[in-house]
Amino acid sequence: MDEFRLPGLRPGAVTVVVVSWQGAHLLPPCLDSLRAQTLPCEVVVVDNASTDGTAELLARRPDVRVVRAPRNLGFAGGVQLGIDAVDTEFVALLNNDAVADPRWLAELVAAAGAHPDAAAVTSLMLLAGHEPPVVNNAGVVLLADWYGADRALGESPDRVAEPDEVFGFSGGAALLRTAAVRAVGGFATEYFLYYEDTELSWRLREAGWTIRFQPTAVVVHEHSATVDQRSRRFAYYNERNRLWTLLRHAPAPAACGAAARFVLTTASLTVRPAAAVDGAVPENLRPSLRLAVLRDVLRHLPRELRHRRRRSRAGPGRPPVRRAGPVRRA
């Protein structure tokens, strides 16, 4: 993989892409942390058609290049729009609600240099407001049921103090080889929000790349500052996109089993509704939301099967890294 190159990229250079929607209150600390990086970088902010003063704020930041989307493209569409504007060997992704340690980028690039077979290096993301520190994400793992999960969520960073190979990267804070991402088709923009990083990680591994975790590349993340994880929007995209991902990539018995369980659970919840938790039924247990997910999965099933056929023709890549145990689903 160390010989892998695509023309038109500046070797060794790095661009950081930040996607923002209605995030004017979040951007200043994020951008200030990028200005303080010990490794020089370009910064591209993709403004997903915000109406909250983001354009005016960015106009006062001459150190930032702005790419404006015609409408809200979600994270997946926004980050791909940013990558399309990049001409550097590496592109780093940082959430607009995250603040990077000054050596964050230098540590990621050093890890990529030490592992030329790695298409991505993911960061140690810590949850803001916790003392002692608590892990938000240390890469993505696949559970025994093939769903994605945040590695080490809620644990002490001491538990993930060593560099390691992981199944996937977190789009919230990671370094990507631009050529590798483009060669496998980029982000799945139809995902809009959630699981787009897990799905791309799967394709990169199928193409023969590895993905690394670098614990010295640290960011602090205001988790769910952009989208409330209790919201209907979060539940819809998370449930739909993980089913799409399994239909594209998981072994056929696992993909069919997950789809069947989703249908049976939906039917059961229609007959016997879920109990309220803290005064409200969780959105992912509401039959109306689950039926909307099933509608979209069935509507796009031919497309998902085409993805699956293309993957099978490409041949085996690196085997998935899976684990069992109590971790939070991504």
Q: Which of 180, 177, 169 is nearest to 217 (CA)?
A: 169
Q: Please give the C-alpha separations between residue 181 and each of 173, 176, 250, in angstroms, as whole numbers.
A: 16, 7, 20
The pLDDT value recorded for residue 5 is 55
| 3-class SS of residue 177 | strand
Residue corresponding to tokens 């407001």: 129
Average per-residue pLDDT in the chain?
92
DSSP-assigned letters across all residues of 151-170? TTTTS-GGGG-S-EE-SB--
DSSP-assigned letters across all residues of 89-127? EEEEEE-TTEEE-TTHHHHHHHHHHH-TTEEEEEEEEEE
What does the pLDDT look like over 184-216, one tens digit per residue? 999 999 999 999 999 999 999 999 999 999 999
Distance CA 185, CA 75 (A): 16
Rounded to two decimals, the pTM is 0.92
pLDDT tier, 8 (very low <50, low <70, confident <90, very high otherwise): confident
Q: Which CATH class is domain 12-221?
A: alpha beta
pLDDT tier, 319 (very low <50, low <70, confident <90, very high otherwise): low
Distance of CA 311 to the CA centre of its chain: 21
Tell me what the mean pLDDT of segment 295-300 comes to.
96
DSSP state of 218: E
pLDDT at 7 over 90: no
The pLDDT value recorded for residue 200 is 98
What does the pLDDT look like over 132-165, one tens digit per residue? 999 999 999 999 989 999 999 999 999 999 999 9
